[in-house]
A and B are shown apart, each in its own frame.
Chain A
Amino acid sequence: MAAKSDDEVARTRLEELRLDSNRIQELSDEELYTSDSNADYEDLGPAIPSEADNIVYVNRMMPIFDDLQTETSRAQQQTLDKILPYLEGNPSNFPLNSFGIPKLQREKHVKFLIQGLGDKPAAYTTLDAARPWQVYWCLAGLTVLGHDISDYQQKIIDTLTDVQHPEGGYGGGFGHLPHLAPTYAAILSLAMAGSSAAYESINRRTLWHYLGRMKQADGGFTMAVGGEEDIRGAFCVLVALSLLNLPLDLPPDAPARAQGMTTFLDKLDEWISRCQTYEGGISASPGCEAHGAYTFCGLGCLAIMGPPRETMNKYLDMPALIRWLSYRQGAPEGGYAGRTNKLVDGCYSHWIGGCWPLVEAAVDKNLWNRSALGRYILSAAQDEKGGLRDKPGMRPDAYHTCYNLAGLSAAQHNYKFDEKMTGDVGKGSFGAPFHWKGDGLFEGDKVWDEEDVVEEVHPVFVIPFEAAMACREYFEAKDGF
């Protein structure tokens, strides 16, 4: 049958797209839709009271449109057409909470993420260079949902030890070259596994040497030897140095020493400043376009380099940054887009949503619309079969599940940075991230009930607080490597 084969072609195309780990790394929104069951919300019946409220809300949130049609406005209109039914009604037939919004489908998402850690068919070969990422997204997502992951401890250690490179750092798979992206994912996963066996499985000495080889003469870091230099590199390096309590000094064999550099931080502050664009957001490297994921990486760096109030105000134009972040929130969607004039995408619930706790610690509270983001995540991003997605019409995956949930957490919780940096953990270099505390639930305008509330997430490391604290504490108590 012709119709069926068309459907299959579309499915294959989607499968390719979904499985392409470049897409995962690319962190971009994608305009490709396909026919899947989520789009079949034909007969919705008469509006129920909560639905009527939602329609009023959506109409109130409608932005001012101008008339000119371009590729951008057409893509935006198509996206809106896909999303609106989910904001106004309940095409997935989820049970609703007391705000008339779909409840968090906790059990379904847990099941989806557990499957994400399991065996994959050959079609997943494009994920082969990103297996530690998949492990991280699933584990982080599970912990945000409050699911106990201790059963996975040994498997996490075994899986990641197999991809640790003898010369330091982690690769995407067995025998792959080391790279900062899998290194970042592996270290955070091992911190979540949380035991001396997990911590000791990390070869910190070779890792420190490896990280040193990434340092560049202009202050930034490459993602691999011979790889691209961008702000992810800086963030991945600082996360590793901070969580594992590694030395501030560059190792003696770091090539950047030939250019007179002595520490990991040399010229980095200045380099990060250069990544802030005329729009106010932060780009991959100086001169590129401001982008949500790179902005989170940049703010994450500054939050590791010192107290956010000091570092961010010193190296960034904060009013411009706040303005840019604010404008990324879509109306009426409520979710975030990664760049100006791009489409809303659930992963930016974290990449932009997760910037707010960092910014609020540096500037002021109550800067953003948490309930609008919560609405997007609960109403539009939850897939009826479990997992969360970019937007309606797209399939869920571990990446979007993790970052939608992390964004939901950012919306639901308050955090506080202890400016005096007191406490037992977090002395010494890169110690600032260990002076954050949960500061209770957000009690302002919201659209979630208690049972829709997810766990707190460490604003810099995006893993549970206890996991980050215990890991650092372990290595602070340890002498040498």
Chain B
Amino acid sequence: MTKFYHDDPAWADIEPIPQDDTGHPLVAIAYTAEYSEAMGYLRAVMARNEHSERVLALTEHVIGINPAHYTVWLYRARTLEHLSIPPSDELRWLNPIALSHLKNYQIWNHRQAIVDRRDSCEGEADFIAQMLDQDAKNYHVWSYRQWMVERFGLWRDVGEVAFAEEMIGRDVRNNSAWNHRFFVLFGGRKKGQAGEGEEEGKEEEEKEKEKELVQREIEYAKQAIRQAPQSQSAWDYLRAVLRHAHLPISTIAGFANEYNDVSPPRSLHALEAQLEIYAEQNKVDEARSTLEALAEFDPVRKPYWTYRQKELVVA
């Protein structure tokens, strides 16, 4: 498995550039001879700006030893472009590497560049799902999926919503999945996007559809809260949908109360919603005693609940 270049005739024309440290540096790593030599050849080809098939093989070699080496990934990306390697070939090479290095940063930026060049996201959703099967909250993978939604205009796409739903179904506390759902449904609409030049009727129709969607999402969040009333993800989603639709927090007064009718409450988040309902209705005394209850049942956040008293005085 070990690969050297000094005795490889295909590399005879290259004079490697060894690591040239001044004195004895901090955090000096005792590299293996193999890595040291491969890096020496990489520095040499970078210095002559060579982009060739053998460079591609060299980058693969170094990535195999140190996948966190951003320089090699960036140089590989440039080489692929120079050689006009079909994006699908590179993706085929990349997939197993991604699956065995779940926490790697570089792979996702690399993938993004390739898929962007390919100008198609075919197969990407499936691959992402495979990654998330192993690591359901992986930040890079979700971020990549959000990039895909934006790049390929998958706003309110049925498949994307269904995917978020499936992930939430598996673990109702998966906040990354809730974030994705919000992004897909409400992240893409910019003001005036749908409107211009369209007839009155169509605008009305749009408004009606929007109302239905908001209603559906409120119900969706509520049924998730019923499963795990103490999980913040669905509560925050619910609050965000209300805010998006300019609906007051009292819209969910009855629902919140379902979780507050005992002491301690079944959900702190319901109690917080209750606080805000009181504040909205200017019931300062009730709000104040709710804050006291919050500080009692959530003592780690006592300074925070105390701070929120000030908000009441101002209101």
Complex Cα spacing A458 to B19, Å: 35
Q: Is the CB of A161 within 8 A of B22?
A: yes
A203 within 8 A of B: no
- Hey, which chain A residues are within 8 Å of B303, CB to CB? 366-369
Question: Closest CB of chain A to B106's CB: distance in Å?
Answer: 8
Segment touching A, from B61-69, B84-92, B198-206, B245-253: B61-69
Q: Is the CB of B70 within 8 A of A172?
A: yes
Question: Closest CB of chain B to A77's CB: distance in Å?
Answer: 12
A26 within 8 A of B: yes
For A182, the closest partner residue in chain B by CB is B70
- Hey, which chain A residues are within 8 Å of B20, CB to CB? 162, 174
Q: Is the CB of B68 within 8 A of A20?
A: yes
Complex Cα spacing A61 to B231, Å: 17
Q: Is the CB of B301 within 8 A of A369?
A: yes
Segment touching A, from B5-13, B71-79, B121-129, B210-218: B71-79
Complex Cα spacing A120 to B23, Å: 16
- Hey, which chain A residues are within 8 Å of B304, CB to CB? 322-323, 326, 367-369
Q: Is the CB of B306 within 8 A of A366?
A: yes
Segment touching B, from A219-227, A254-262, A423-431: A219-227
Complex Cα spacing A372 to B142, Å: 31
Complex Cα spacing A231 to B55, Å: 32
The A197-225 residues at the B interface (CB cut-off 8 A) are 224-225
Query: A126 touches which one: B27, B42, B66 (CB < 8 A)?
Result: B66
Complex Cα spacing A179 to B71, Å: 9
Complex Cα spacing A102 to B110, Å: 45
The number of A-B residue pairs with CB atoms under 8 Å apart is 253
- Hey, which chain B residues are within 8 Å of A73, CB to CB? 173, 228
Question: Closest CB of chain A to B107's CB: distance in Å?
Answer: 9
Query: A128 touches which one: B66, B106, B232, B237 (CB < 8 A)?
Result: B66
Interface of A is mostly: loop
A99 within 8 A of B: no
Question: Closest CB of chain B to A38's CB: distance in Å?
Answer: 23
Segment touching B, from A64-72, A236-244, A380-388, A433-441: A64-72
**Residues A128 and B300 in contact in the complex (CB < 8 Å), given A122-B32, A155-B23, A288-B146:** no
Complex Cα spacing A122 to B112, Å: 31
Contact with A along B129-173 (1 / 0, CB 8 A): 000000011011011001001100000000000000000001111
Complex Cα spacing A366 to B304, Å: 8
Q: Is the CB of B187 within 8 A of A287?
A: yes
For B33, the closest partner residue in chain A by CB is A122
- Hey, which chain B residues are within 8 Å of A25, CB to CB? 68, 105
Q: Is the CB of A341 within 8 A of B301?
A: no
Q: Is the CB of B68 within 8 A of A162?
A: no
B2 within 8 A of A: no
Complex Cα spacing A291 to B267, Å: 24
Name the interface size band of chain A: 35 or more
- Hey, which chain A residues are within 8 Å of B239, CB to CB? 278
- Hey, which chain B residues are within 8 Å of A196, CB to CB? none
- Hey, which chain B residues are within 8 Å of A290, CB to CB? 179
- Hey, which chain A residues are within 8 Å of B149, CB to CB? 287
- Hey, which chain B residues are within 8 Å of A119, CB to CB? 28-30
Complex Cα spacing A175 to B35, Å: 14
Q: Is the CB of A228 within 8 A of B66?
A: no
The A304-362 residues at the B interface (CB cut-off 8 A) are 319, 322-323, 326-327, 329-332, 334, 339-342
Query: A64 touches which one: B26, B105, B297 (CB < 8 A)?
Result: B297
Q: Is the CB of B268 within 8 A of A158?
A: no
Q: Is the CB of B23 within 8 A of A158?
A: yes
- Hey, which chain A residues are within 8 Å of B27, CB to CB? 116-118, 120, 127, 131, 134-135, 159
Q: Is the CB of B139 within 8 A of A26?
A: yes
Complex Cα spacing A23 to B105, Å: 9
**Residues A65 and B230 in contact in the complex (CB < 8 Å), given A119-B30, A175-B39:** yes
Q: Is the CB of B113 within 8 A of A226?
A: yes
Complex Cα spacing A285 to B149, Å: 14
Contact with A along B221-256 (1 / 0, CB 8 A): 000000111111100110110011000000000000
- Hey, which chain A residues are within 8 Å of B51, CB to CB? none
Contact with B along A145-177 (1 / 0, CB 8 A): 000000010011011011000000001111111
Binding site for B on A (CB under 8 A): 20-23, 25-26, 28, 60-61, 63-66, 68, 70-73, 116-122, 124-131, 134-135, 152, 155-156, 158-159, 161-162, 171-177, 179, 224-228, 277-279, 284-285, 287-291, 319, 322-323, 326-327, 329-332, 334, 339-342, 364, 366-369, 372
Q: What 9 additional pairs, Cβ within 8 angstroms, besides A72-B171, A122-B30, A367-B304?
A: A21-B68, A64-B297, A134-B27, A175-B46, A177-B75, A228-B105, A228-B109, A288-B179, A319-B311
Q: List, sorted by A's number, 11 A–B pairs whose CB atoms are closer than 8 Å.
A: A64-B268, A71-B173, A129-B70, A131-B25, A278-B237, A326-B304, A339-B139, A341-B231, A364-B310, A366-B306, A367-B304
